[in-house]
Amino acid sequence: MKWPQLLPLALHLVSIATASVPTESMEKALEPFKYNTFPLGTITATGWLHDQLELEANGLAGHLNDFYRFVAGSTWVGGDWEYSTLDEAAPYWFNYVVPLAWTIDDARLKAQAKEFLDYVLDHQAEDGWLGPEKTHQTRGIWARSLLFFGLVQYAQADPSETDRIVTAMHKFTILAHSMLKDNFTGLIENTTLGDEFDPYGFGLARAHELPMSLQWLYENYPRNNSEIIWETIELMFAGGVAGGKDWTTFFVEGVFPTLGTPYITTSSFTHGVNLAEGLRYPTVLYRMNGNSSLLDQTSLAVNLLTTYQSTLAGSITADEHLGGLSPERGSETCISVEMMFSMAYLYRFYGTNAYADRAERVAFNSLPAALSPNWWSHQYVQQVNQPWSRNLSAVPFANVNSYANSYGLEPNFPCCTVNHGQGYPKYVAASYVLEGDSHVIHALLGPETLSTKLATGNVTIACTTNYPFSGRLEYAITATTDISFSVRIPDWVNKTSSQYSLAAGSSKPLSSDSNNLQTFNLTKGTTRIAVELEMGIQVTESPANGTAAIYYGPLLYALDIDYNSTYHSPLSYSSLEPLPADQIVAQTHDYVLDPTSSWRYAIDPTSVTVQQVYDRDGQLQNPIWAKNATPFALFADAWLVPWEEDSGTAAVPPKYPNVTGSPSKIRLVPYGSAKLHIADFPIAVQSS
């Protein structure tokens, strides 16, 4: 019998024929980003932002792997703790500990990340599966999306691990491809087979997340596997569509909800965290199919969100489903960090100023508000008007419990415990971007330093600034090559009254281009640039409700309510009983913040003034997001007015309350530093 020998020969001929065709001509190109990122670790933080990252590393996020049952005892590392069948806790941790460790060059955290990497890669199954699951019923793909985010960052930060990481990713992708082709196994549960890896469809609604990392693999390390990678991405999207989770059907006028619960029908699309992630969906898909209506849908999605479902602090109102514009409703901490990641991703793709502004607004307002100054406790949901933080006597939220606005270890649900850490490390990593070979843009402003090797030479750009607590950005740039350098000018900046100066030269008004970039063409050597952004008070009014919000620069300002802070041992999110001693550490507390000053103020929004309350030679306090720590305060004329309570918290503000008598001056501080706050103020109407 000669047949068996012919078959391998024929295959051999086929593979030679295939190999003789240049691979590039066969491969489809992904639609490109407008800007590229720099490898993780080439951007570091200084000043207050570095302090925040150190606090994070020394706080809860940096210690989960030492004691937290869902990370240290995760099934991913041989334990048996998971808070859901998604098995997502340890991959969430990995997704942020990698950028945190490399951004602050922290040996302890790098070692923890390395230990996890080794364990996971060393335990990769024969068939390519990554993670602890062994059966059809338990093998859901979703948590691999988080793992892959961590792996991609790791591969960029530590080239000595890249090959091994990429090999594991390929092996998994080939398996995922075969699973997905088999009726979307691992993405859509088959209940006939007893599947229970994603009972609420979270992974299914986030089917575009794995593709983000697969697109990176496709572009950087395709290894003759391009077709499989491409098809795997298509299958993920097709599975999402088959499972009824096509976000392009939701980002449509008339479909996108203009109200919050209980006036809307909830679905995967109305879930706040899903939605924050779903904002990336049309763009990830566009990179595959070039369907330009997806571009319009992205801006429509962000506009609809801003008009109908956003908080004044930049995030999404959702507890856990959409809550409209009510300052009484909650906004989950996971939403803040996912919004930051989405907005940085969208800015990188489109260069649209509003996306970067939105990333900054969340980074400087919503995120810090959700955290205690020392980074050891966090809320599950924050309220824009939050007169107290404790177990509420009723529930003003749709689908979270009365304990959810407490600062603690795992209030309401542990996902924010394991996910809050990605915010600032990824913000810093996305702060500078590259256009072409040698155009560097400072996109997400703050005290950040880029030190990298471009195609044409080396460059270091150090931005010294107290931004967002000051509008002055001082750049020291050293380059061995000519470069273009741009500073992104936020939309709120008054360009006429803002200036820049080169070296010791005279100041000139800003002249940013249509992309809102103030660009400098620099010859090699050392250059100093100063940019002075006029912060300016901005008042936004909501005429329908008679309320006003006050911003100064990128910061939302809020009434700083005094409080009595007490704490007790952390409660289990599920039993609401104290956790056993071996599941906590000395620093973990759940707090009760009771107000000790008045909060029922209506203001005259035209009366707001600004005052520097301390200088300290330009040195900021650490921690900065703490009471009395920030250098500027605003003052407004205010009157105490009748203001009801509702569902255990402050009701929506009274509409245009009438006031008489002379006002008192109230002091407003950055929202992120005021753990009890009012930021959506009733507008007082003075009787004449």
Ligand X SMILES: *[C@@H]1O[C@H](CO)[C@@H](O)[C@H](O)[C@H]1NC(C)=O
Residues at the interface with ligand X (CB under 6 A): 19, 182-183, 190, 192-193, 223-224, 248, 291, 293-294, 297, 324-327, 391-394, 402, 453, 457-458, 480, 484, 494, 496-497, 519, 521, 542, 545, 547, 564, 566, 571, 576, 596, 652, 656-658, 680
Tokens of 212: 């983000």
Closer residue to ligand X in complex, CB, 368/570: 570
With contact defined as beta carbons under 8 Å apart, do 539 and 550 qualify? Answer: yes
Closer residue to ligand X in complex, CB, 112/372: 372
What are the CA-CA distances from residue 655 to residues 23, 327, 328, 642 (Å)?
66, 13, 14, 11
Q: Supply the minimum distance, in Å, between the C-beta of residue 534 and ligand X.
A: 7
How would you write 341-366 as a 3-class SS string? HHHHHHHHHHCCHHHHHHHHHHHHHH
Closer residue to ligand X in complex, CB, 117/487: 487
Q: How far is CA 31 from the centre of its chain?
A: 23
Q: Supply the minimum distance, in Å, between the C-beta of residue 170 and ligand X.
A: 9
Closer residue to ligand X in complex, CB, 147/522: 522
Closer residue to ligand X in complex, CB, 108/181: 181
Q: How far apart are CA 648 and CA 422, in angstroms?
A: 31
Closer residue to ligand X in complex, CB, 494/607: 494
Torsion sign across C-alpha atoms 360, 93, 418, 346: positive
Q: Which residues of 103-116 are buried (b: 16+ CB within 10 A; e: fewer)?
A: bbebeebbebbeeb
What is the DSSP code string of 198-211?
-TT-HHHHTTTHHH
With contact defined as beta carbons under 8 Å apart, do 652 and 545 qualify? Answer: yes
Q: Supply the minimum distance, in Å, between the C-beta of residue 41 and ligand X.
A: 12
What are the CA-CA distances from residue 345 to residues 248, 275, 341, 430, 531 (Å)?
18, 15, 6, 8, 25
Closer residue to ligand X in complex, CB, 43/49: 43
CA nearest neighbour of 346 among 279, 413, 296: 279
Closer residue to ligand X in complex, CB, 63/280: 280
Closer residue to ligand X in complex, CB, 427/563: 563
With contact defined as beta carbons under 8 Å apart, do 39 and 46 qualify? Answer: no
Closer residue to ligand X in complex, CB, 521/612: 521
Closer residue to ligand X in complex, CB, 484/622: 484
Instruction: Count CB-CB contacts under 10 A for residue 568.
Output: 11
What are the CA-CA distances from residue 54 to residues 71, 110, 595, 626, 675 (Å)?
20, 14, 30, 15, 21
Q: Supply the minimum distance, in Å, between the C-beta of residue 678 and ligand X.
A: 12
With contact defined as beta carbons under 8 Å apart, do 120 and 151 qualify? Answer: no
Q: Supply the minimum distance, in Å, between the C-beta of residue 654 and ligand X.
A: 7
Residue 445 CB burial class (10 angstroms; 0-12, 13-18, ≥19)? buried
Quick one: angle between helices 142-157 and 107-122, nearest 10? 130
Q: Supply the minimum distance, in Å, between the C-beta of residue 17 and ligand X.
A: 11
Q: Supply the minimum distance, in Å, between the C-beta of residue 587 and ligand X.
A: 20
Q: Supply the minimum distance, in Å, between the C-beta of residue 484 and ligand X.
A: 6
Q: Supply the minimum distance, in Å, between the C-beta of residue 274 and ligand X.
A: 18
Q: Supply the minimum distance, in Å, between the C-beta of residue 350 and ligand X.
A: 16
Q: Which residues of 315-346 are buried (b: 16+ CB within 10 A; e: fewer)?
A: bbbbbbbbbbbbbbbbbbbbbbbbbbbbbbbb
Closer residue to ligand X in complex, CB, 95/156: 156
Q: How far apart are CA 587 and CA 584, in angstroms?
A: 8
Q: Supply the minimum distance, in Å, between the C-beta of residue 651 and ligand X.
A: 9
Q: Supply the minimum distance, in Å, between the C-beta of residue 498 and ligand X.
A: 8
The DSSP bridge partners found for residue 669 are: 558
Q: How far apart are CA 330 and CA 418, in angstroms?
A: 19
Q: How far apart are CA 556 and CA 30, in angstroms?
A: 38
Q: How far apart are CA 25 and CA 169, in angstroms?
A: 24
Closer residue to ligand X in complex, CB, 66/541: 541
Q: Supply the minimum distance, in Å, between the C-beta of residue 430 and ligand X.
A: 22
